[in-house]
Amino acid sequence: MTDPLRIGLAGLGTVGVGIVRIVQSHAELLAARAGRPVQITAVSARSKGKDRGVDLSAYAWEDDPVDLAGRDDVDVVIEVMGGHDGPAKDTTEAALAAGKDVVSANKALLAIHGQALAEAAEAAGRVIRFEAAVAGGIPVVKTLTEGLAANEITRIVGVMNGSCNYILTRMEDAGLTYQEVFDEANGLGYLEADPELDVGGIDAAHKLALLASIAFGTQVNFDGVALEGIGSVTIDDIRQAADMGYKIKLLGVAQMSGRGLEQRMQPCLVPDTSPLGQLAGGTNMVMLEGDAVGQIVMRGAGAGEGPTASAVMGDVMDLARGLRVSTFGQPASSLRKARPAQGAVPAPYYLRLKLLDKPGALAKVATILGDAGVSIDRMRQYDHADTAAPVLIVTHRTTRTALDEAVARFEGTGVVTAPPVAIRIEAV
């Protein structure tokens, strides 16, 4: 019989327990598909005595995950502890130095230290695989590194944080404010211990930076992601965008243009008839566009025990079969430093204003927009009970710089009674 692939599992939280369950319940299936047994030999976590609902008695225990990484009876280290420094980083580095491959679900670690770790893996003749770090159970990393390897990728667009999508969907369906749904989601345990990782877009931006590196052959650059969370989205924006045929999503976009590498994670409007517009609840969706394949759309669970453990084990199975792909799809030494884009590609914008209901108010706004080179595509005014009228404007394609220039001049008109809201409309 072929020698088994022996796993050292660092982390026994939700995902780690899911991995144990898959290995224990699908032992014969894994062996048949890999052509060799796939076994856990050692585990490590903070508390040995905690009841995790799975039998760990057959596995060696290590209090220190770095010691786990150096064991002679471990071929592959699975790192599902989380955190961009500390034990996760130390364990990954120790595993590579000891000649082990690493499978990780740690988006923050790779988004911040990915280039250095990829170079360390390459120097050691090892690989780091991280399907589970991006979009949960959706095999987007494998699709980019393998299925679309012959394509020049032109754009990545996606909803990459299920918690944010849940909040925005719930606001619309229940007519609740952002704060009401935030408190509800936090109470249900849908948000990270630090909720800003979710609602601030940081978690999703980590994922976008990793995908952009693979897609465009660049060194991963999380600091280059233009980042805006969903905290400023109001129920009025959701309702009025819907009235004009749009949904609001926290959208990640990466594309290479003459301006440089554009990476954005921000609330955007998308047509309500589009796949992204119809995405509800905590589901993720990633759209990839390649010069040969055109556009493909992948949808699935973005988090949770089963989907994330499934993604981890997909990487483990590749290693068991002898399939080895460079960490970011090509040798780390060939990844180039991309020039961050100076501004985004022009797009239409949604603009919400409150104007004094008096003659000439709208004309003043239109003149300022025109002077800034911003053309109005369509406009809608709503009934109102007070002296200020809610007005929505959809612009033709423009730059955010031009729009911001116009918005900055609105205050001097004396007719705009509240801070304007501007949200990009993304073509999908």
Among 191, 173, 194, 174, residue whose Cα is nearest residue 182:
191
Taking the CA atoms of residue 130, residue 131, residue 135 and residue 137 in that order, the dihedral angle to the nearest 10 degrees is -140
**CB-based contact 343:399 (threshold 8 Å):** yes
**CB-based contact 262:419 (threshold 8 Å):** no
Give the DSSP letter string of 224-261. GSEE--STT--HHHHHHHHHTTEEEEEEEEEEEETTEE
> Is position 207 annotated as part of the catalytic site?
yes
Integer Cα distance of 201 and 170 in angstroms: 18
Distances (CA, A) of 50 to 43, 184, 339: 13, 29, 48
Residue 318: its H or E element: helix 305-321
Among 133, 122, 160, 107, residue whose Cα is nearest residue 314:
133
Integer Cα distance of 64 and 87 in angstroms: 8
How many other CB atoms sit within 10 Å of the CB of residue 223?
Answer: 12
Furthest-apart CA pair in the chain: how many Å? 86
**CB-based contact 364:413 (threshold 8 Å):** yes
Burial class, 337, CB count within 10 angstroms (exposed 0-12 / middle 13-18 / buried 19+) = exposed
Q: Which of 207, 247, 249, 364 is catalytic?
A: 207
Integer Cα distance of 428 and 423 in angstroms: 15
Integer Cα distance of 107 and 131 in angstroms: 10
Integer Cα distance of 107 and 84 in angstroms: 8
Integer Cα distance of 79 and 350 in angstroms: 42
User: For the stretch 364-394, what's the b/e string if a residue is b when 16 or more beta carbons lie within 10 angstroms of its beta carbon?
Assistant: bbeebbeebebeeeebeeeeeeeebbbbbbb
- Give the bridge partners for 266, in sequence order: 251
How many other CB atoms sit within 10 Å of the CB of residue 196?
Answer: 13
Reduced to 3 states (helix: H, G, I; strand: E, B; else coil), residue 100 is coil
**Which residues are catalytic, by number?**
207
